[in-house]
């Protein structure tokens, strides 16, 4: 038959807990070994080890009831449902926790992005203000340099005028010394008219 079972054998009979060991021994094993055993039996060979009786499974003996841990007994199907529900609840809880963490991370990222944009705006404003201050300072420096150059030019002019005045004073002092010598000589000679004439010449020179 299909899947290694005889055609006249119900598959559910293999899992029936009420079958005895003798009746189980008559049921062939549903595996490739059955095919080899049936081939040997068809040839008239002796009883083979492949057709040994199926051992009694512990899951079939204790399949009717199982403790769930809280004093009640649950069938395997109910236990499976409870396990599935617990796993689903745990996964749902963890997914909610992850979603909450994701929201928190997104909120933090949004706030940090806003702070970064504000900092960039502030940095741009500070840069613009510094640029304006630098331009004003440069214009002031240019004005100060222009005034300094003007003052330097005026100072040079004053220095040249002072040099000329000092030269004039030196010439006058030399002339006065010369006139004084000549006056002393005139006084020594007792010539009053000559003295008055020399005095008038000296006054003209001073003016």
pLDDT digits (tens, 9 = 90+) for 93-106: 667 777 787 888 88
Question: What is the average pLDDT across 155-172?
Answer: 88
Report pTM: 0.30
Sign, CA torsion 142/127/125/122: negative
Cα separation, 24 vs 8, in Å, equals 15
* Average pLDDT, rounded, for the chain: 67
Q: What one-character DSSP code corresponds to residue 67?
A: E
More confident residue, 207 or 118: 118
* CB burial of residue 8 (10 Å; 0-12, 13-18, 19+): exposed
How is residue 206 written in tokens? 């001073």
Q: What angle do CA 198, 204, 205 make, to 5 degrees?
A: 90
Cβ-based neighbours of 194, under 8 Å, separated by 6 or more: 186
Tokens encoding 137: 């300072």
- Predicted pLDDT of residue 96: 73
Helices (runs of H) and strands (runs of E) counted in the chain: 5, 2
- Domains of the chain by residue range: 2-64, 171-206
In this predicted structure, the answer to whether residue 3 has a pLDDT above a threshold of 90 is: no
pLDDT at 141: 93
């Amino acid at each position: 038959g299909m899947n290694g079972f005889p055609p006249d054998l119900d598959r559910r009979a293999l899992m029936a807990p009420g079958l005895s060991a003798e009746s189980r021994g008559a049921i062939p094993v549903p595996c490739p070994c059955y095919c080899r055993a049936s081939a040997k039996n068809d040839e008239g060979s002796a009883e083979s080890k492949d057709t040994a009786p199926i051992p009694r499974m512990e899951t079939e003996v204790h399949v009717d009831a199982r403790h769930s841990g809280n004093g009640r007994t649950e069938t395997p199907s109910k236990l499976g449902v409870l396990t599935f529900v617990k796993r689903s609840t745990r996964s749902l809880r963890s997914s909610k926790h992850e979603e909450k963490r994701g929201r928190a991370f997104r909120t933090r990222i949004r706030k940090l992005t806003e702070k970064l944009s504000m900092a960039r705006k502030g940095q741009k404003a500070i840069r613009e203000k510094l640029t304006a201050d630098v331009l004003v300072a440069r214009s002031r420096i240019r004005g100060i340099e222009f005034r300094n150059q003007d003052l330097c030019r005026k100072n040079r002019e004053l220095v040249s005028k002072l040099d000329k005045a000092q030269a004039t004073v030196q010439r006058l002092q030399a002339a006065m010394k010369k006139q004084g010598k000549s006056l002393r000589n005139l006084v020594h000679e007792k010539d009053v008219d000559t003295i008055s004439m020399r005095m008038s010449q000296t006054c003209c020179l001073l003016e």
